[in-house]
Amino acid sequence: MRADVELAERLARKVAACGGRVYYVGGFVRDRLLGRENKDVDVEVHGISLDCLEGILAELGTPEVLGASFGIYNLHGHKLDICVPRRVDTGGRGGRGEFRELSDPFVGVRQAALRRDLTINALYEDVLTGEVVDFFGGRDDLARGVIRHVDDETFVQDPLRVLRVAQFAARLSMRVDPATTELCSHVNLDDLPAERVEEELRKVLLKASRPSVFFGELRATGQLGPWFAEVAALIDVPQNPIYHPEGDVYNHTMLVIDTAAELRTQASDAYSFMLAALCHDFGKPLVTCEREGRIISYGHEKVGADVARAFLARVVGSAKVRDYVLNMVELHMKPNSNVAQGAGRKSYNRLFDQSCCPRDLLLLATSDDKGSGGQTTPGVHERLLEALAVYEELMARPYVQGRDLIEAGVEPGPVMGEVLRYAHKLRLAGLSKEEQLRQCLGVYRSLVGERAASEDGGAGA
């Protein structure tokens, strides 16, 4: 970050020599005033032409144009984002329901600030003097912990701002101004690009201490439905109060993701883990019923995988992330269930072997347990960790691989694939490598013999 600040200062001196000014903008100014670290340094250049700016940038390094019509640049090898203020093109909208914007370095600081979404993000700080320019009361809103939009007309020109309001409420632990909530409730989110929605969701799941606030704000504005219909479907779905004193499935899920946020730094992939926590009970609305006076949701983890698959296909771009989440959703009930049933070593080994990341699965099970009214069953997590340690020690032992079979005379092909699958079962059972190989060769000879007999029989017919 320090290198970017120094570059910003060098840029500001050159721009000032040409009659312009450079300001820190957006989250960098906001977080400095809040005493938070923000490694993303953004500046906005005013009062010089684009040609002049590009000439200055060429003197400072190798310019890279990130958005020609928007006037967005950086310098190769640096993270500093350099932009020019924008104005709306009165000629009409751009693609995908968004207003078309054009760069205009002479629009003026107040007009540029008017284009920003929230007062706390419309603060400008002169790079050279440190003067903070605040046209819309952003500093007061920071002090009061209030998220408030800058302007009714400009705010609604980008529907993503509805999600950003909820995202900032969650990340900054601030309350939303009622007028902003009301304005958000009238914005159509249908045409938002999925990648922009996922970007906001990612920020919430990775940076907010209480991601539930994000969904709570969207619920308050009636905006859960367009992109998070599966979350909205959890509202008012009942649960057995003996096991879930926290209330409906929505309340439970919110507690689970807040608990998961406390554990996410321990996960192999924090984003995927948080998504799994969000999706884990998506199947309950489809299977919850009352039987003999008890509320049950048998099989919700299996049904939930299909519901989660549709949600992930709509919002999440990475196939790897989607596969992780679906695996976690399908298995999330089994760890605690194994403990409750007094399962043996083989059951735990099979479970961990099915999991794409057993340690993350246990973190999810812990989040699920704590999300049930905050009361956890004593000793469950410790028992699971003990079982996992046994499995990990087993997986660390020598085992039969393809090259071992080839060295023993096994021909590569479909039969060898069957033998390797059998070898894995022997590995899970705890057999030594020598015993695994002995049994595998016996199975191989048997399979080859069966196939040869089948072929002879077919020829004779």
Mean pLDDT of 17-29: 97
DSSP conformation letters of 135-163 = SS-HHHHHHHTEE-BS-HHHHTTSTHHHH
Name residues whose C-beta falls within 8 Å of residue 347's C-beta, 6 or more positions apart in sequence: 338
Cα dihedral 306, 312, 317, 319 sign: negative
Q: What is the pLDDT of residues 111-132, one digit of tens each?
A: 999 999 999 999 999 999 999 9
Tokens 């995202």 map to which residue?
167
Residue 199: its pLDDT value, please?
98
| 348 touches 331 (CB < 8 A) | no
Residue 39: its pLDDT value, please?
86
DSSP secondary structure letter of residue 19: T
Which structure tokens are listed for 350?
A: 């099979």
Residue 242: its pLDDT value, please?
87
456 pLDDT exceeds 90? no
Residue 86: its pLDDT value, please?
84
Average pLDDT, the chain: 93
Distance CA 247, CA 233 (A): 14
DSSP, collapsed to helix, strand or coil, labels residue 295 as strand
Cα dihedral 436, 442, 444, 446 sign: negative
| 228 touches 218 (CB < 8 A) | yes
DSSP conformation letters of 65-79 = EEETTTTEEEETT--
Q: What is the pLDDT of residues 401-430, one digit of tens each?
A: 999 999 999 999 999 999 999 999 999 999
CA nearest neighbour of 300 among 312, 314, 289? 289
Q: What is the pLDDT of residues 254-290, one digit of tens each?
A: 999 999 999 999 999 999 999 999 999 999 999 999 9
| 346 touches 425 (CB < 8 A) | no
DSSP secondary structure letter of residue 342: T
Residue 68: its pLDDT value, please?
56
Residue 459: its pLDDT value, please?
54
Residue 41: its pLDDT value, please?
95
Among the residue ranges 50-64, 162-176, 193-207, 441-455, the one predicted with the least confidence is 441-455
Phi, psi of 441 (to 5 degrees): -65, -35
Distance CA 440, CA 433 (A): 10
Distance CA 337, CA 329 (A): 14
**The residue type at 395:** M
Which structure tokens are listed for 182?
A: 């009301």
Residue 89: its pLDDT value, please?
65
Distance CA 359, CA 373 (A): 23
Q: What is the pLDDT of residues 366-397, one digit of tens each?
A: 999 999 875 666 788 899 999 999 999 999 99
Residue 451: its pLDDT value, please?
82
Residue 454: its pLDDT value, please?
76
Q: What is the pLDDT of residues 49-107, one digit of tens each?
A: 999 999 999 999 999 887 655 678 999 999 999 999 987 765 554 444 455 677 899 99
Residue 97: its pLDDT value, please?
45
CA nearest neighbour of 325 among 349, 302, 309? 309
User: Which ranges in 280-344 belong to alpha helices (H)?
Assistant: 284-287, 300-315, 319-331, 334-340
Is residue 5 within a helix (H) or strand (E), and if so which, with residue range? helix 2-17
Torsion of CA 360, 362, 365, 367, to 10 degrees: -60
Distance CA 276, CA 362 (A): 12
Please, which pLDDT band fits residue 443 given cuts at 50, 70 and 90? very high
**The residue type at 340:** A
CA nearest neighbour of 231 among 334, 312, 319? 312
CA nearest neighbour of 384 among 333, 330, 338? 338
81 - beta bridge partners? 42
Cα diameter, the chain = 96
Residue 95: its pLDDT value, please?
46
Distance CA 421, CA 417 (A): 6
